[in-house]
Amino acid sequence: MSELDLHRLGLGTWQNRETEQCAASVRTALETGYRHIDTAQAYENEAAVGRGIAESSVPREEMFLATKVQSGNLGYDDVIATTGVSLDRLRTDYIDLLYVHWPIDSYDAEETLAAFQRLFDEGKIRHVGVSNFEPRHLDEAREILDAPIFANQVELHPYLQQTELREYAAEHGHHVVAYSPLARTEVLDDPVLGDIAEKHDASVPQVTLAWLLSLDGVVAIPKATSAEHIRDNWGAYDVDLDEEDCARIADLDRGQREVDFEGTPWDE
């Protein structure tokens, strides 16, 4: 695996649509030490993210910038056109990691991935990613693409540990990027995580993120808007969980999804 290993804790920007706040969040994260910034066409904040990047003192080449093509934009021509718009909004000549956001709606594996391959060949994207893919979608994509799949971004947290997808990623050499790593705040009142946090004089988010970072090949992108939360999450790097801690967290897995709706890839 490659340079994403240097950026295993990123800033998620879902629901961060207020322009000033979003730009400030990105600047704060970069000043704190984050170098991985995650957005999406569907988040309607690429321009604000681009502004935050432009206003920071961190050189673009030191950042890892990811965005996602919306599920309604996955026809060949739409992928090319809307990625061009994303590049303009993000104020950059290239995107480090471009994802297929969902394999639904206008997704057609042959057509969609041909467009991603073209963008990769042209240097407009450095890596090809997929999101919310199940093993069968990954198998199909790997057969079509010449470019390697770099990451599969999925919901992943103590209550939904995605063992099968993590094993698949380890076998085929790509990352798993964890969205909603705090289960949309559900973990905050968990007594087991609270006990471990007290043991390490840490916060529950720090413990949860430290556990994710202890998993091979896993990257976490917690959403945060305030400077306090952005900096608190970054403190996960200072939490050293032991084997007992990790075993207790592993026992919390119960297949609980926070993101679920009719027609999801796992319901097919």
Among 26, 111, 107, 117, which residue's Cα sits nearest to residue 66? 26
- Token pair 């599920």 in the structure block, residue: 71
Selecting among 43, 99, 168, 179, the annotated active-site residue is 43
Give the H or E element holding residue 143.
helix 135-144
Residue type, 209: L
The maximal CA–CA distance of the chain, rounded, in angstroms, is 53
One DSSP character per residue, 202-253 reads --HHHHHHHHHHHSTTEEE--B--SHHHHHHHHGGGG----HHHHHHHHTT-
Helix axes 76-90, 109-121, angle to 10 degrees: 40
C-alpha to C-alpha distance for 157 and 179, rounded to whole angstroms: 8
**Catalytic residue check, 237:** no
Beta sheet of 11-12, edge-to-edge order = 11-12, 36-38, 64-69, 95-100, 125-131, 149-155, 175-179, 218-220
- Residues annotated as catalytic are 43
